[in-house]
Every structure is written in C-alpha cells, then in structure tokens.
Structure 1
Amino acid sequence: MMAGVKWIFLIIGTTIGAGYASGRELWQFFGQDSSLAILLFTVMFMVCCGSVMSISYKQQSMHYLPVLRTIVGRHLTGVYDWMIIFYLFTTTIVMLAGSGATLQAYDISYRVGVLVIALPLILLFVWDVKGLVIMNALVLPVLIVGLLLILFLFITDQKLSLFEHIGDTANWMAAFPFTALNVLPLVAVLGAVGSRMKSRREVWVASIGSGFLLGSISFLYNSSLIQISEEILLYEIPLFAILKHYPYSMMVFMSIVMWIAIFTTAASGTFGLVTRFREYWKQPLWIIAFALIAVMLPFTSFGFSTLIQYLYPLYGVLNLYILTALLLYPVTHRFKTS
C-alpha cells in the first residue's frame, strides 16, 4: 500500500507544475462548461497511469524507451522518442520560467528566481533516483494540502456552489487534449521506475489514487477560477487573483506551495531526460542534469505565460495518438494474450 502511495506522489509531482498550480493551464483548457471534461479527464488519467505502469512493471524498465516501443510500436518509437525529449526539455524550461515569475511577484529579479530553482535541481540528482523519490514524499503532502486549503477557504468565504455549473458540458472535448498533454511526462517518468516496482498492487493504488486526487483538485480549482474569470486576464498567475482576497501571509505561503509544484515537475522532467541520456553518456546523473539545465537557461527569457499559451495546446494535440494507444492498451493487451 505505502509503495503505491510513493508512486502517487511521483505522478502528482510530475503533473502539478507551474502551469497547473498557477491555474493558467487549467484555464487554458477548461473554464466554463467543463464539468464533464474534468470527469472524463479523471477516468482517462487513471487508465493511462495504469497502462504505463503495467508495461513498465512487466518490463522492469530503467528508462522510458522500452515502454514507449510497446505503446506506439517500433516504427513510431523514434518519432515519439524525440517528441518526449523535446517535450521534457521545453516543459522544464517552463518550470524554470515559472520560478522566475513567482519570485518576480516579490520584486525579486526574474533571473535570480530562475537560478533559485536551477541550483537545487542539479543537487537533487547527487542522490540519483532515490533523491527524487524522497523529495516527492517530503514536499508533495505540503503541496496538496496547501492547494486544497486555499481552494476550500475561497469556496467557503465566497459562498460558492460547487455544483452550480455541473450541468454545463459544452466543453467536454477539452478533456482529450488536456489528458494528452500530461501523457508524455507520465511515460517518461513512470517508464524509468519499472525496475523499482514490487507488485501489481502498486499499479492500481497509484493510478486510481492519483487520478482521483487530480480530478478532485481540478474540479475545485476550475470552479473557483470561473468566479473570477473577468480578473484572470489581469494576472500572469491566476492563483494570485484568488489570493488577493486574503492577507499577505497567505500569498507568501501559497507562493511557496506553488514553487514546490514548479520544483517537483522540473525535477520529474529532468529525471526523464537524464535517465534517457545516461544510456549514452556514462556520467553521474547530477552532471547530466547540470549540462541540460545550462542549455535550458537562455530559453527562459521567453516568459512563463507565453510558453504555456503556445506550447501546451500544441503538445495536447500532438499527443492524441499516444493517448488513444494508452486508453486502448488494456483491451489490446488482453486480446494479444488470450
């Protein structure tokens, strides 16, 4: 049971990053009329996690390439391998930029904010894979509790009806690109830990638990953002539009929570890259991480919201094929083994 919880933290840490925790990613895809879309996302996310972890556990993989080959077939593996590398590279840049944007709200230089996350990110991999797992177990509970706390406070204080928009389903198609957006990092990260899974029970606990948590948080967060939809355009980070209703100390606390979300996703993205390149570059993970982050730093100058606005919808569309393959895997796998 506890081993499954460990993977829940890894999955949540991979998914809730700068875009998600800030509210920018949710508002980009969902917003009004999205109750059914969030429900569909929850179910599809569970199935995708279960599929990736099942393949990873069966193959006892140490990086994502064998898992990817099973999902998309030998002919498309090369295409999606490069797509994953590019995805992890650019989304980690988004996380670095997100750190700069978060600290910029406190009149701290954008570049200093980027370096504040880059240095501990490199040091994390001194402890190899174990460092990432321990870090997630320590900080993810703070992230989840902090995000739920501010959402419940806002919903209670504003006397919002959670189910007021439950019948608005016009935007249900958004579930597919949003789920697809989060598929590639799942393949990259979960594909690298197959050799560390001990039983199939871990697969079920992790996939159902993480899907339920993410679905619940997404619903609460989106419901809150709908109430301040007219103000969101004024903020680089929509979460700050919610926090303006609370004392400055709450904003400081939630900025720390959001920075944790940024860091965990940056760590997961870097983890997917370093485990992939370790096969070719026989160096400690922290050295590979140092080299990759050094290349990423110049690209953070594009800005946080700009990167999310253009990159995330593009990835959501490009990943639809791999999403379909993962959703069908439980059926096709049974057919092949029967």
Structure 2
Amino acid sequence: MRIDLGQSFRIGMTIVGTTIGAGFASGREIWEFFGSYGEEGRFGILLSMALYFAVSVIILHIGWKKRTQHYSEVLRAVIGPRMARYFDGYVILSLLTSVLVMVAGSGATLEQWNGSFTLGTLLMAAAVVLVLFFDLKGILSLNTALMPTLAAILIIVCLQALWSGGETAGLIENEPENPLLPVWPSAITYAAFNMVSLLAVLSTMGSQIRHPAEIWIACLLGVSCLAVLAGLYNASLLQVSHLISQYNIPLFALIRDYSTIWNLTISLVLWFAIYTTAVSNMHGLVFRLADRFPLPRWAAGLVIMAVLVPLSQWGFVPLVQFLYPLYGVLNLFLFTLFLLYPFSEER
C-alpha cells in the first residue's frame, strides 16, 4: 500500500499545533520546565521529546490498528474497559479546562493591547466553533496552513535573540533557578502534561492512516520540529535569564527592543498558537461527546463555549497557576501506562 507523505505531514503539523499553546509559545512552559535548570535544560528537552515521540507513536498505532474514532477507545485498549470508564471522565474534565485556559488566554492577549478581555474570549469561541463545521479535515488543514508559518516566526525571533545576545553573553552569568534539582523529573512531567491533548486529537486519526510508516514519519516530523523550537527557545531565554522575572510572558523579554509592528505580529503568533491548541482540545472533546449527545459537532462546541466563556472571567494567570501543575502530576500515571503498553502481553 502506498505511503501518503502529505497525510504524514498534516498529522505531524497537528502534533506541533496541539503542543504549541499559550504556555509554549509564550515561553513560560519552556522556562519553567527547562530554562530554570540552566544549561542542563537542553538534556531535559531531549529526554522529554524522546518520550513524547514514543507516546505519539503508541497512540497513533493503536488508532490505526483498531480504527478508533475517539480517545475512549484508545484508553480501553491500554488500561481496560473498567479503568477507562474512570479516566474517561478525567480526560473530559481535562479537555474542558484546557479549552477554558485557551479562551482566557485569548482574552488576556487582546487585553495586552488595551482591548476588551470579553471580546477576546468571544473571538476565540467563534473561531473554534467555525473550524468544527469542517470536522477532521478542518483541523488537519488548519494546522498544515498555520504551523509552518508560526514555527518560522518563532525560529526567527530565537535566532535573532541568540545573534544579538552573543555579544553580551560573556558579561552575564546565567545562574539556574533550580541549581540543586535534577532536570529529568521536570522533563518527564512536561511530556506527561501535554499527553491528554495529544491523546484527544491523535486518537481520532486512526482511520486516516493507510500505512504504518506514515505514523513514524508523522511523529518524527512533528516531534523534531518541537525539539528544534524548544531547544532554540531555551537557549534564547538563557541569554535573557536576568530579565525573565520582569515579564509574565518570557517571549516579550526577547522582543523588548522590537518595533510596534513586530510586537503586534508576535502577539498574533501567540493568539494563533492558543487557537490551534483550543481547536485540538475541542475537536477531541466533541468527538467523544458525539456518542452521548445527538448533536452536530459544531452545535456541541457552541454549547460548550457558551459555558466556558463566562468561566474564563476568572482570568488567564490564575487558571494556569492552578490547573497546569495539577494536571502535570495526574497525567504521570496515565503517561506511564501508555509507555508500558508495547510491552504488555495483550495488544
């Protein structure tokens, strides 16, 4: 059977789009999980991306083999029907709150430019529901179109920061914030933290895969892109480590001397990064809920957004500070079970 490289590229970009949300694109995730450990952070990125590659291959392989339609079917294959019922509710809650954070992130981004927080949340809600009209083809097309552009802009910013920072690198001593802690637990937690979103969207793509080689190509492409971005981002942030504490969004420490037009462009990059993650999470959510509620997927998304937009008024930063560490720890158990799945006797 012929290998569809175009499909591999689309799935690879979906892996990137699912991962590069508000936390990654803003630099906050990269700094907290890797940059704060100093030079050791680069080894943490390699470990994290290796684990991320493994779990992506496992999810897609299960989806391809069993032709799954949503994440619950993948969960049943890995942990059995009984445990899957309990984790099903947890994943639904995790996806809901993740979309909630992205909606609040959109409001916060618009607020940075003296706009309305509420208008920003409504804009995100409308844009996410719009993509749901096009089902799986919509999300694949969205990530294929946006991810190369967003990745290129982030790479340009990082390379510029490294180039300009090279002149003063020797004058500033980069002391890690966590000098006594090893980086590997943080690397594992980061990979686990992103797993639920990945599970939600990749589990719907089993029927789209024609040849198992497409899985390996897609995962290698997607994770390699993430590894390059994370590595460059980490190195760039280390150049301005003395400024990180002054910015809620570390990315703005890198572009502090840029023109207004460039700052606006970077803000748009942030918004689209938030958008692609929100779409991925909502996509996985409505595919799962389609079994329980006889509604078109766009209608289910509209109902969900009607609930989440008012809740987003709690604010972006409080939501991130409360939810992200919690899910990072809770996902570790599920992440471990997925990594052990290839070694189980029953496939």
Quickly name the TM-score band, shorter chain normalised: over 0.9
Cα contact 2:53–2:219 (8 A) shared by 1: yes
Q: Separation in 1 of the partners of 2:295 and 2:210? A: 27
Shift of 1:286: 0.8
Residue 10 of structure 1: aligned partner: 14
Q: Separation in 1 of the partners of 2:268 and 2:50? A: 30
Matched, 1:207 2:219: yes
Question: Aligned AA for 1:178?
Answer: Y
Which residue of the other structure, out of 23, 27, 31, is the alignment partner of 1:23?
Answer: 27
Which residue of the other structure, out of 270, 284, 300, is the alignment partner of 2:282?
Answer: 270
Deviations 1:211-262 (A, max 9, x none): 1111221121122222323332332322112111222221111111111111
Matched, 1:100 2:107: yes
Q: Separation in 1 of the partners of 2:143 and 2:199? A: 18
Q: Separation in 2 of the partners of 1:66 and 1:108? A: 42
Shift of 1:204: 0.2
Q: Separation in 2 of the partners of 1:316 and 1:85? A: 15
Report the 3-state secondary structure (helix = DSSP H, G, I; strand = E; otherwise coil) of the residue aligned with 2:241: coil
Shift of 1:6: 0.7
User: Unmatched 5+ residue regions in structure 1?
Assistant: none
Cα contact 2:74–2:203 (8 A) shared by 1: yes
Residue 181 of structure 1: aligned partner: 193
Residue 300 of structure 2: aligned partner: 288
Residue 129 of structure 2: aligned partner: 122
RMSD: 1.9
Residue 239 of structure 2: aligned partner: 227
Residue 79 of structure 1: aligned partner: 86
Which residue of the other structure, out of 34, 37, 46, is the alignment partner of 2:53?
Answer: 46
What is the total number of aligned residue pairs between the two structures? 332
Q: Separation in 1 of the partners of 2:314 and 2:217? A: 39
Which residue of the other structure, out of 69, 74, 92, is the alignment partner of 2:76?
Answer: 69
User: Unmatched 5+ residue regions in structure 2?
Assistant: none
Structure 1 residues 325-336: aligned runs within 5 Å = 325-332=337-344, 335-336=345-346
Deviations 1:13-47 (A, max 9, x none): 11111111111222232223322211100100000
Residue 202 of structure 2: aligned partner: 190
Q: Separation in 2 of the partners of 1:236 and 1:325? A: 35
Give the TM-score, by structure 2 length. Answer: 0.91
Report the 3-state secondary structure (helix = DSSP H, G, I; strand = E; otherwise coil) of the residue aligned with 1:192: coil
Question: Aligned AA for 2:163?
Answer: T
Shift of 1:146: 1.1
| Percentage of identical aligned residues | 36
Structure 1 residues 157-172: aligned runs within 5 Å = 157-159=164-166, 170-172=182-184
Shift of 1:336: 4.1
Matched, 1:249 2:261: yes
Shift of 1:75: 2.5
Give the TM-score, by structure 1 length. Answer: 0.93
Q: Separation in 2 of the partners of 1:247 and 1:66? A: 49
Q: Separation in 2 of the partners of 1:36 and 1:51? A: 23
Q: Separation in 1 of the partners of 2:210 and 2:33? A: 36
Q: Separation in 2 of the partners of 1:47 and 1:230? A: 35
Q: Separation in 2 of the partners of 1:299 and 1:73? A: 34
Q: Separation in 2 of the partners of 1:252 and 1:21? A: 14
Cα contact 1:25–1:308 (8 A) shared by 2: no
Deviations 1:301-333 (A, max 9, x none): 12222222221111111111111122222333x
Q: Separation in 1 of the partners of 2:32 and 2:194? A: 14
Q: Separation in 1 of the partners of 2:123 and 2:164? A: 34
Report the 3-state secondary structure (helix = DSSP H, G, I; strand = E; otherwise coil) of the residue aligned with 2:134: helix
Matched, 1:57 2:64: yes
